[in-house]
Structure 1
Amino acid sequence: MPNDRLRDAMLRNGMTPASLAEKIDVDPKTVERWITQDRTPYPRHRHAIAALIRESESYLWPKAVTAEKASRLGQNEIIQVYSRRSSVPYEVWRRLIERAEERIDVLAYAGLFLVEQDPGLIDTLRQKALNGVSIRVLLGDPDRPTIERRSIEEGAPGVMAAKIRQVRQYYDRLRETPGVEVRYHETTLYNSIYRFDDEMLVNTHVLGIPAPHAPVMHLRRISGGDMFRTYADSFDRALLSSYPLGDSEMAP
């Protein structure tokens, strides 16, 4: 049975069996066997391949990484845990945004604090996008019941929808910028996710507690770990069910 995950990851990174073989100093036929016969490479080769094609070992070779090792690697992906989002230093947000070279992903209901703590954020994102960084922002649809339910749970009816409409005014300034997507979602969020290349801030959601007062995990992706991937996959699922701004107003 072929290893389609390895094949697809190589294609996404523009690699052939010959080019990968050259980079890790093995025979191209060996790489072919890893793909077509699902042979498992030696650990040193797994590490090198995962780093080159920016995928985790546990994703490429699920049977090669034991549950115990995957758990240990996942723990190593945790850089810092903050007791509440409001205690995350602004310098951390600024560093992650400024250093992003490939992607900036935001999944939240509003995330208004981002533009409030940095008035120049929209200009920064525009320049990032013009430099080739993919910017994807998923906001809660203010007209959906999930948003009002969240507001009621926090004891502030109507506030969340107002925040979303307010933050949308900022992101509307990026409407014509290539490489920027701002979309609505109606997902029930268990976490807000802020991804900057291979680092991520995950703001947990706690029933009855506003997001600024809920814990945040700072994660950094490492080869073989699965915690970062878990949240990255969560963002991707929300992205698949998201829709362009304005669609909700046209819905019956």
Structure 2
Amino acid sequence: MDAAGLSPRQLAVRTGVTTKTVERWLADADLTPHARNRDDACRALGVDEDMLWPKAVKERIKSGGDPEIVQTYPYRSAAPSALWADLTGNVADDILLAGYTGYFLWSQVPRFPEVLRSKVEAGCRVRFLIGDPEGEVTQQREAIEATALSVSTRIRITLEHLAPLASLDGLEARYSAPEDAVNHVSLSVFRFDEEALVTPHLARLVGHDSPLLHLRRRGEGGMFDRFAEHAEELWTRGLPIEF
């Protein structure tokens, strides 16, 4: 906390708890906060969980949990509001946003166009892989979800936001190939260097009602690599979008 320049009150604000709760964390080394609070505290302090609460990490590994899983959320909308912004802001080399619609990113990440522009200008590769709004799988998914804000409409919102950025050298956008659309619409992968957010889409649920996994790469062949390779494979067969 001293190194991060945060007082107990400031850390409490960052993690959404009371100051007394933070003071209890400091006073009782055996007290393990809720997983979401641990994740928020680690991001606020810029450290890994095993530095603050090694007991929790050991228990998770002992019980069979994958060490590359930073956190799980029963709904994408349950993830901390700052998570998407933090991952986008901290990335240096490669962003691959392989969500089928991706429209929510512009409301989830403050000043998203400006952030993307600054990342590209700093040498970061930025890629969007989205579904074809006219594709057969898109139409099938619309019938399944039966929501007012349809899948094709959400994709077109993303296209409208991307159009002003299309001239940036370093930003690329593709539609998933028709033969890959079924695999794409059922699994969204958002990669930020060696961290990723993954959403498997359940039955007729829209993205914000489906689960979310936060992954961080720790070695070859782990959970992170499995999902990253899936997204890369879809990307290689993707069709360039003409703006």
TM-score (norm 1): 0.66
* 2:166 is the counterpart of 1:170: no
Structure 2 residue runs of 5 or longer lacking an equivalent are 1-60
Give, in whole Å, the separation in 1 of the partners of 2:95 and 2:105: 13
Shift of 1:158: 7.5
CA distance in structure 2 between the aligned counterparts of 1:220 and 1:75, rounded to whole angstroms: 10
Matches within 5 A, 1:34-113: 75-113=66-104
Q: 1:95, 1:174 → 2: CA distance? A: 21
Tell me how far 1:97 sits from its aligned partner.
0.4
What is the distance in 2 between the residues matched to 1:127 and 1:222?
28
Structure 1 counterpart SS, 2:82: helix
Matched, 1:180 2:171: yes
Q: 1:157 offset after TM fit, Å?
A: 7.5
Aligned to 2:10: none
TM-score by length of 2: 0.68
Instruction: Encode CA deviations 1:116-142: one digit per residue, 9 max, x unaligned.
Output: 233510111011001001001011100
Count of residues paired in the alignment: 176
Q: Which residue of 2 aligns with 1:155?
A: 146
CA distance in 2, matches of 1:162, 1:224: 38
Tell me, in whole angstroms, the C-alpha distance in 2 between the residues paired with 1:177 and 1:246.
13
| Secondary structure of 1:79's aligned partner | strand
Which residue is equivalent to 1:191? 187
Among 218, 221, 228, the alignment partner of 2:224 is 228
AA partner of residue 198 (structure 1) = E
* Structure 1 contact 126–177 (Cα < 8 Å) conserved: yes
State the SS of the aligned residue for 2:97.
strand
In 2, are the aligned partners of 1:77 and 1:221 still within 8 Å (CA)?
A: yes
Which residue identity lines up with residue 188 of structure 2 in the other structure?
S
Code of the residue aligned with 1:191 in structure 2: it is L
**SS of the residue aligned with 2:175?**
strand
1:131 to 100, 122, 135: 122
AA aligned to 1:132 is: G
Contact 1:77 1:225 in 2 (8 A): no
Equivalent position of 1:217 in the other structure: 213
Query: Given residue 113 of structure 2, which amino acid in structure 1 is its aligned partner?
Result: I
Corresponding residue number in structure 2 for 1:143: 134
Pairing partner for 2:197 from 198, 201, 207: 201
Identity of paired residues, percent?
30
User: What amino acid is aligned across from residue 197 of structure 1 in structure 2?
Assistant: D
Within 2, Cα distance between the matches of 1:91 and 1:208?
A: 27
Give the counterpart letter for 1:196 in structure 2. Answer: F
C-alpha displacement of 1:91: 0.8
Do 1:151 and 1:157's aligned partners in 2 also have CA atoms closer than 8 Å?
no
Residues 158 and 201 of structure 1, relative CA distance in 2, 3 Å threshold: closer
C-alpha separation between the residues in 1 aligned to 2:81 and 2:123? 24
Task: Kindly report structure 1 stretches of 4+ aligned residues shifted beyond 6 Å.
Answer: none
Tell me the distance in 2 between the aligned counterparts of 1:173 and 1:157: 26
